[in-house]
Structure 1
Amino acid sequence: PPPQMGRIAGPGQAYGALAPLPVAALRLDNATVAQLNRLGLRRIGDLLGQPRAGLARRFGRGLVLRLDQAMGSAPEPVSPARSPDRFAVRLTLPEPIGLMEDLLAGIDRMLPRLCARLEARGKGARVLRLEAHRCDQAMETVTLGLARASRAPDRIRPLLEMKLEQIDAGYGIDMLRLEVLQAEAIHARTPAGHMQAGAAVQARQEDGAALEDLIGRLGARLGLEAITRCHPAESHIPEKTFTVQAAAWSEPAAGDWPRPPRPRPLLIWQPELVHAPERPEVPERFRWRGRNWEPAAAEGPERIAPEWWLEDPNWRSGVRDYWVVVTRSGERLWLFFAHGGALSPGWFCHGSFA
């Protein structure tokens, strides 16, 4: 029977340990294993009894090399996996603390040391955890996520300060620990070109840093997933001209947004039914959101057809004619008349310009 898993063959017993194993144990590709099986060579012992020159000529030197490595005739160096970098600092307190000022003082002692270690490895913190160990053996923790990886104490400290109110000091805290749960490489950005161009690049970088700090502060309260930004998308369908992405894990949209053939409203929502006669002409009056409206002016129509190659439940009403309707009370609404496809025709409101 084949040897049990985890056993090591003794001196001179390699042949007996390997011979019963299937040829796939040599870590060969599937095509070579299938070809060997077709020839009746299913066990390693079947290969060890064959002439080496014939095996190399028929199957290549890779098969012979795997046999030599299995028998110990050829070296197979193994490089151990490098242990991941861990960044953490600890502060043991001589007396228990519980005041906010004392916690901040402890962070001011730990954070520069942690950031120095990150800088030495060329990395920045993306997610941090602060552990507050209490005298009663309980532990309070807060987790902080950053919009961008950073190793600047003056940018991380205000975000940690916002989280400290979540810590219950109990009878006192006698040890603090600050650990980086997720680190990312940070590449230095050096302005290039003439002085004016370099100054412009530096100004954009400062604006970007201020925006990232704002995202971090809002994310500390609301959660980073709640802070989003829009990116342009290739589509003539109004509600598909953009995609929503998490601001902390995406870059601002590069370049200018493509201009639509006609102005688009500031606010767009799911089409809402408008009670009006089922005719393609702009109605003299209509009812929407429980109110009666009277158009004072209208501009249009702009015809938009559905994407016939996609099945979109929102566009089963068929081709739409969009109108910019200015009401007598001053609102500028985006109305469309759906000519009817799988559904009945009718008027809908899709957005507002103010």
Structure 2
Amino acid sequence: MVPKRELPVVSGDPLIELDGVEKVFTVRRRAGRLRRTKHEVRAVDGISFRVPRGEMVGYIGPNGAGKSTTIKMLTGILVPSGGRLRVAGIDPARERTRLTRRIGVVFGQRTTLWWDLPLKDSYELVRRMYRVPDAVYRANLARCVELLDLAPLLDVPVRQLSLGQRMRGDIAAALLHDPEVLYLDEPTIGLDVVSKAKVRSFLREVNTERGTTVLLTTHDLTDIEQLCRRVMVIDHGRLVHDGDLAGLRAAADGERMLVVDLARELPPIEGVPGARTVKVEGPRQWLAFPATASAAPLVAAVADRYPLVDLSVREPDIEALIAELYAGGGAARRKPGDVDPGAP
């Protein structure tokens, strides 16, 4: 990519600012054969946070939590129902066209590429739309093609690309005009292990070398672990955690799983401090232990006492962590008059 640009905002100043942002949708539900009633759905409920320039932040939560709604407000696609929102000092809802030149967006499985055109022609159209100078375009495209392994795909129509190939193509398209902010929704979906590693390495380089601010939504905890120092959790439209991933696990009191393959079928493993056997299937056993604890002492204890063939550590999925976090602290965050989402 081209040499790093001069940053117009002092380092440390927030590039993304949300203060009490809300988004309420009105939906109609059938109440009898002919009558319909109106109901309000509060998709985002008073969210406030700051993201400094150059930070890469994980923005996670279960399906329907409000992640995509937040990003759509940050891009100007949706207008907030209340609160204050700024991106690079711009109100997205009022100056969407001006903001477009400063952001890049990859919305999950919704491509921004032209379906019937070869990938390289889509990139040329992106260049013309954003009026990217030729030297900048060539340098950025060459770097994206190299790091995302896109050379064999440039002449392939987008409709013929696999989901993983198209995702890599979309990420490149979102960066050709040198955006200051990059919004990513599930950027590693549909990718194999090798391709995931390439995408993560690419995003890390874009963030560190170019100073690009990244807001990442994903259900893959490995994405968060390898890319983000900070993670924000949204649930039921509210921010329930803002900190590092270790803090999230500690707050949720979650558990990791040590999956052990023994040489033969044996009774449940016992006597391993800090762990308990929760499942046995033939020679394979599952041991649960606190998410904040190290797996190393457990592995050593099992290997010392049992005929160990193989093992792996499985992280708690985000859905489970958030469910535990919300169950443990959600009541304190609810406002008077709110309905308890866990109530029957």
Q: TM-score range by the shorter chain?
A: under 0.3
When normalised by structure 1's length, the TM-score is 0.21
- Structure with the greater relative contact order (CA < 8 A, sep ≥ 6): 1 or 2? 2
Higher Cα Rg, which structure: 1
When normalised by structure 2's length, the TM-score is 0.21
